[in-house]
Amino acid sequence: MVDDKQAVKGFLRLCIRYAEDSITRKEGRLGTADERGGDEVGLPAWKAYRDFTAQAIREIDDGVLETWFEHLQEGDDWRPSPDAETGESRDSATTGGKGQTSGGGEGQASGDGLEGDHSEFTSIATAGLGFDQRRTLLDGIISPRPLVLASTRSGEGIDNLAGLSSLAVVSNNPPLVAISLSQDRDGRKRDTLVNLGENGRITLHILPSSREMAAIVAATSKALPADESEWGIIAVDGTQSPSEGDWPATFPLALVALECELLQSHRLPEGAVAELCILGVRNILAPASTISAIQGGATLSSLCQHGSHRLTPAPDGWGYDCQS
């Protein structure tokens, strides 16, 4: 017979698995007309339930909830208080207090929720920081960022895929977006940048927020020889664009895709190895139901990059209507 702690953890793990399967089933129906509205409403709740349950398991492992197991008997009126003087409340484990760990996924804390202590600011000169230190700070501060899967085609007809998190809308009229494309540590330009320079076209895919999509992005981030395609290492086949003209292969599991043309490319200042590419958005690819939902004010539950390495769903908490 398992003890109370193992029984509770086992039950919570089953809850997480059930939630994950429900999320996968609902995400699989997105983009279809059948039951779409209900799935869009239910997805954020299931994801919040999954993440909260995983957090409870983390707190059990970290000892944050140790005293709770003394009060499991029916009729015990003890109530855990979020204002406990010990600091070992559930709040402390999710806002940077005791019990917090780093990383993502089941059994690891997310590291989200830091609100600051509102004390006097200190100053850190970026010139004195190393590469990894700067990246960690900037990625953690300017976060989360939309993650897109970029599809390009070389002059020799080789299709390429790469994950990008530098996408920004810089103009609505005309519709312009910007991306930053760098080179690897060996000084080799990214295939995406080379291909974009050769044929001037790129398709930016907004992805569903699922672990499957995160794994695909991780797989396409591995360096391959220029004559090999990332499409060959994922279990998804590219499809032909429905737009007129010769566009790169479309990732069929995307929520939305933007087909863009390169208008300008600028070397960044101060010795940066990246190039800033200004793209004109020519076509928007999406199911008609998705277009209608977005035009009606809905937002996508899309994959984002949070920090330097963690991929997460787009935030879907409270909102403030700044039009009112």
* Paired tokens of 186: 């060996």
pLDDT of the residue at 148? 95
Residue 142 has pLDDT above 80, yes or no: no
Q: Where are the domains of the chain?
A: 4-94, 141-313
Radius of gyration of the chain (CA): 23
pLDDT of the residue at 323? 65
* Paired tokens of 233: 């290492």
**pTM of the entire structure?**
0.64
Tell me what percent of the residues of the chain surpass a pLDDT of 90: 36
- The answer to whether residues 115 and 273 touch, using CB atoms and an 8 Å cutoff, is no
CA distance 56 to 245: 52
What contacts 286, CB < 8 A, 6 or more positions away? 255, 256, 257, 294
pLDDT tens-place string over residues 261-314: 999 999 999 988 899 999 999 999 999 988 988 888 888 889 998 887 788 888
- The answer to whether residues 210 and 39 touch, using CB atoms and an 8 Å cutoff, is no
pLDDT of the residue at 116? 57
Spell out the long-range contacts of 109-112 with Cβ–Cβ below 8 A and sequence spacing 24 or more: 109/55, 109/58, 110/51, 110/55, 110/306, 110/310, 110/312, 111/307, 111/310, 112/306
- The answer to whether residues 71 and 41 touch, using CB atoms and an 8 Å cutoff, is no
pLDDT of the residue at 106? 39
Pick the CATH number of 141-313 from 3.40.50.300, 3.30.428.10, 2.30.110.10, 3.20.20.140: 2.30.110.10
